[in-house]
Amino acid sequence: MAEKIIIDTDPGIDDAFAIFYALRSAAFDVLGLTTVYGNASVEQTTHNALALVAAADRACPVARGASDPMEIERRAYPTMVHGEDGMGGCAPETVSGSVIDQHAVDFIIETVRAHPGEVTLVPIGPLTNIGLALQKDPGLASLTKRVVLMGGAAQLNGNVTPAAEANIYDDPHAAEMVFSADWEVVMLGLDATHDVHLTENTVAELAREGGAQGRFLQQASAQYFGFHRDVVGLDFCHFHDPSALIYCVRPDLFTVQPSSVRVVTDGFAAGKTVAKPDSRFTGQAGWEKRARVSVCLAADGYAVIEHYVSAMQAKPSAAGT
């Protein structure tokens, strides 16, 4: 049976790869997209989410969410990475659909409550909407099937600061709420996504074989590849957000370690995720009563990319229509 999911997202170029994949896969019943600031303003990421749903030709509700983090001042948008419009300059001027008349936080709560124990939350942006939902409805944790999030770094440096990965850095307080709630979390962060290399050749293949969506992804990712080449010094991109969706379908492609995770919320290491494997004893206070986190430590990157490409070349499923 298809897994019921809500994707909480800040599109975002890698978010676009993830959303197209999820919307065409029979493995998912995408109950909605909820948007958040992050790669651009929430107005822009919401516009982009609507554009992606239209391009995927799917009926999927989009609910606009938080415009700012829970406690800290909003960080600058990463225009160097995702462009001014969050889509590498490829966001359409106008979109046909519109958002539903409900805030993302209320949509998440209502949808999870309508399907107790069945809904997986897949946050691939800053965790503000999820933190706010937990704050508003603490009972949400026990009713959610699981959270599979893209974010964090257990054993590697961050990608925004030496300590922090972007989604956690943008709202460390929300992330700390997520990692301290009473639920199952999969933390798919840089430890795994740095094993998954998307090349321009692969994207060219998507453009040739993956129809209009493949061609859009090729255009939108040109700036993303440019950033990785010119600033990071890589001739590939790390395939962040789609990896979280692929984990849901192919967990066998990832190595996980059962752990507890805490988030540094202040100071120069703000946004750092510190993971304690369950097998490791500590007498330090503060590690009790945490989320049960499967931290992804590695991925079979070649197989993840192969899975993505073949899914994007297959005929879209009828699910979600």
DSSP 3-state assignment of 153? coil
For position 8 contacting ligand BDR by CB under 6 A, the verdict is: no
The CB density around residue 93, as the number of other CB atoms within 10 Å, is 7
The residue from 3, 8, 165, 171 that contacts ligand BDR (CB under 6 A) is: 165
Distance CA 301, CA 298 (A): 8
The interface partner of residue 152, options being ligand BDR, Ca ion, none and the CB cut-off 5 to 8 Å by kind, is: none
Residue 2 or 80 with smaller CB distance to ligand BDR: 80
Distance CA 29, CA 320 (A): 6
For position 176 contacting ligand BDR by CB under 6 A, the verdict is: no
Residue 28 or 227 with smaller CB distance to ligand BDR: 227
Distance CA 132, CA 85 (A): 25
Q: Which residue has the tokens 């599109």?
A: 11
Name the token pair of 164.
């922090």
The residue from 3, 8, 15, 191 that contacts Ca ion (CB under 5 A) is: 15
DSSP designation for 260 = E
The residue from 25, 32, 241, 294 that contacts ligand BDR (CB under 6 A) is: 241
- Which residues are paired to 295 by β-bridges? 187, 257
Nearby residues of 285 by Cβ (< 8 Å), 6 or more positions away:
none
10 carries an active-site annotation: yes
103 carries an active-site annotation: no
Decide if 129 contacts 8 (C-beta within 8 A). Answer: yes
Residue 95 or 192 with smaller CB distance to ligand BDR: 192
For position 14 contacting ligand BDR by CB under 6 A, the verdict is: yes
The residue from 3, 15, 85, 195 that contacts ligand BDR (CB under 6 A) is: 15
Distance CA 150, CA 122 (A): 8
Binding mask 60-79 for ligand BDR (x = CB under 6 A): ------------------x-
For position 170 contacting Ca ion by CB under 5 A, the verdict is: no
Please state the closest distance from residue 18 (CB atom) to Ca ion, in A. 8
For position 16 contacting Ca ion by CB under 5 A, the verdict is: no
DSSP for 190-217 reads: HHHHTT-EE-HHHHHHHHHHSHHHHHHH
Distance CA 303, CA 197 (A): 11
Number of residues that bind ligand BDR (CB under 6 A): 15
For position 125 contacting Ca ion by CB under 5 A, the verdict is: yes
For position 124 contacting ligand BDR by CB under 6 A, the verdict is: yes
Which residues are catalytically annotated? 10, 240
Footprint of Ca ion (CB under 5 A): 10, 12, 15, 124-125, 241
